Chains A and B, each alone.
Chain A
Amino acid sequence: MSEFFQQVINGVSLGSIYALIALGYTMIYGVLGFINFAHGDVFMVGAFVGYYLGPLIMPLTGEATIPAGLAVMLAAMIVCSALGVTIEKIAYRPLRSRPKLTILITAIGVSLFLEYGGQLVFGPDPKLFPELIPSAAIIDSSDLVINTNSIIVITTALALMLILRFIVFGTRMGTAIRAVAFNHQTAGLMGINIDRVISLTFVLGSSLAAAAAILYASVYPSINPLMGIFPGLKAFIAAVLGGIGNLTGAAIGGMIIGLTETFVTGYISPAFRDAIAFGILILILLFRPSGILRRHETEKV
């Protein structure tokens, strides 16, 4: 039984991280209408920001303490927001009137650029992420071990999601975002500055990705420039699972993917770890393409 509980904790922890990344995907898709393939790589950059800034910040805040983690996370969020906005401005904005396929390919290009550029700049070898958040065992029996790591990941992710929810549903900026997501043209007619809203969306999405990266790297401390590929893909699948464009859906989708992945790996076979998410994707797209919590999309002839 305790093995089961252990796997649940593992799964929820992983799922929270996927949820954070998925939120970024779903917001960008809601507002711009395409899959930002580069999102997973923004996540990766966040991890490296943590790697380089961690040793610089920790002398000030103390090693492996909550303030250390928060400070580094904030720094990563700022850097990634800047990165996300820059990418949008340079690569996506000029293509806004073009067909979706073109932007998709461009996004792939940006993604590859970040990945291989990362290998060039950071070096392709895996690096050890510094210990930013305290990692001590809370419940420590021989059967069940709950680490502060996992608790922090889950609570932080939850807090960020609640903050996001407040921003999107409780502020004017948030309403503007939802308006643009609903219909570009009408929102523009209402006097909303589309460009600014889109940039804001990227800020929010990239910040969440950066936070996810710090949490992820704290639990799985080996980082490398290609680390964003699979978490990115799985998070996107989570967003689709939950209903693309739907925030709550993205969070739920992330949890489901995280838990499923952990259970299948632990109880069936680790060989299928990466394929599970894709399997879920295909099932969802076959049977319920609009996701669990739908968002209606009609195609006009």
Chain B
Amino acid sequence: MIRDHKPKAVLILSLPVFWLLGKLQGSISPYYYQIIIYIGINIILASSLNLINGFAGQFSLGHAGFMAIGAYTSALITSLIGAGGGLPTPLVFLPALAGGGAAASVCGLLVGIPTLRLKGDYLAITTLGMGEIIRVIIQNLDFLGGARGFTGIAKMTDFFWVYSIAALLIYLLYNLLHSTYGIGYLAVRDDEIAAESAGISATRIKVSAFIIGAFFAGIAGGLYAHFVTYINPAQFGFLRSFEIVVMVVIGGMGSITGVIFSALILTILPEALRAVAMYRMVIYALLLVVIMIARPGGLFAFGSGRKKATASAAR
């Protein structure tokens, strides 16, 4: 198979671009900057969920739980290391994020394995339940601040961190999709039994989807925590999971670009509609229903992504 080096080149080129853009942070209003950061974080969240839902076909409703674990773990790490003081930010932040991601992926493993046998709705409810259990556990751990939350997290997140990680994730997903391993994902999603009989280990695919998806959700959580500097368990409930699911579904499950755009629009929209915030969720909900009926493939998928997304929804 001829290797296509373009994606790798794009990824590598984008890093210094992001670094430069990051330096411009001071010139835009903090309010807009905040929105841009949130867009990036949501891209990571939605894309990582896309891997689980769209690619591997495991309908997970507990993504916020992974995010929570990543957020709290990384916050814990930076507050412990940071206490020593004086270390340059990347040296503290990177291990913290990685730690958060790792903890989350362990959870991904713990969620992925028992749910192997489950399908559709059962899987959805179970992952929902697991997300809630994670939240309740955190809520009862006093050293994490419990229900009152974890305050005073160092503000380390910036444009460069968020967008380079997002770019990395997109690159990984793109590569995965265009590899033989990736086809295994789609095969499992479309017809597990047929895939198994073709020699593909559905178990390995599904579990790896959860692990990788959870890893990046955890990193997104870490980025989020080190931006808002205050986290509490209520921010990671199933409503948050739903929001991410909505991004993936509206973007088109299985479509990389669709989900990116969806994350973008669905992050900007609530801020633009701040004046009518109460209507926002009602519109969201209606949108969801209408799209499912009219265009289950998602609104923003186009190109090859669209075909995959529609195929994904037509299972």
Contacts and interface: CB of A to CB of B under 8 A. Distances in A.
Interface of A: 34-35, 91, 94-95, 98-106, 108-113, 115-117, 119-120, 233, 236-237, 240, 269, 271-272, 274-275, 277-279, 281-282, 285-286, 289, 301
> Lowest 9 CB-CB distances: which A-B pairs, in order?
A109-B288, A278-B129, A113-B285, A112-B285, A116-B281, A109-B289, A275-B136, A106-B292, A35-B121
B120 interface: yes
B286 interface: yes
Nearest to B279: A120
Interface string B174-217: 00000000000000000001000000000000000000000000
Given A94-B293, A102-B292, A275-B136, A112 B242 contact: yes
B315 interface: yes
B288 A108 contact: yes
A282 B249 CA distance: 26
Given A91-B293, A109-B292, A285 B315 contact: no
Contacts of A240: 122, 125
Contacts of A91: 289, 293
Interface string B262-292: 0000000000000000110110111111001
Contacts of B133: 275, 278-279, 282
Contact of A281 (B129, B136, B287): B129
Contact of A286 (B114, B193, B287): B114
Nearest to A111: B285
B286 A113 contact: yes
A236 B293 contact: no
A113 B139 CA distance: 28
Contact of A100 (B115, B120, B128, B286): B120
16 contacts: A98-B314, A105-B288, A105-B292, A106-B289, A109-B289, A110-B285, A112-B284, A113-B285, A233-B128, A237-B129, A240-B125, A275-B136, A278-B129, A281-B129, A285-B118, A286-B114
A34 to B, nearest CB: 6
Interface string B33-70: 00000000000000000000000000100000000000
A170 B282 CA distance: 42
Secondary structure type dominating chain A contacts: helix
Contacts of A233: 125, 128-129
Contacts of B292: 95, 102-103, 105-106, 109
B126 A117 contact: no
Secondary structure type dominating chain B contacts: helix
Contact of A35 (B124, B130, B136, B140): B124
Given A101-B313, A233-B129, A277-B129, 12 more contacts: A34-B121, A99-B313, A102-B313, A105-B288, A106-B288, A120-B279, A237-B125, A271-B139, A275-B132, A278-B129, A282-B114, A289-B122
B289 A278 contact: no
A272 B245 CA distance: 26
Contacts of B285: 109-113, 115-117
A95 B115 CA distance: 26
Q: How big is the B interface, by class?
A: 35 or more
B296 interface: yes
Contact of B281 (A112, A236, A271): A112
A301 B133 CA distance: 34
Contact of B296 (A98, A269, A279): A98
Nearest to A100: B120
A35 B122 CA distance: 9
Contacts of B5: none
B117 interface: yes
A233 to B, nearest CB: 8
Contact of A113 (B118, B128, B282, B293): B282
Contacts of A116: 278, 281-282, 284-285
Given A101-B313, A112-B242, A236 B125 contact: yes
Q: Which of A108, A110, A289 has the most CB of B within 10 A?
A: A108
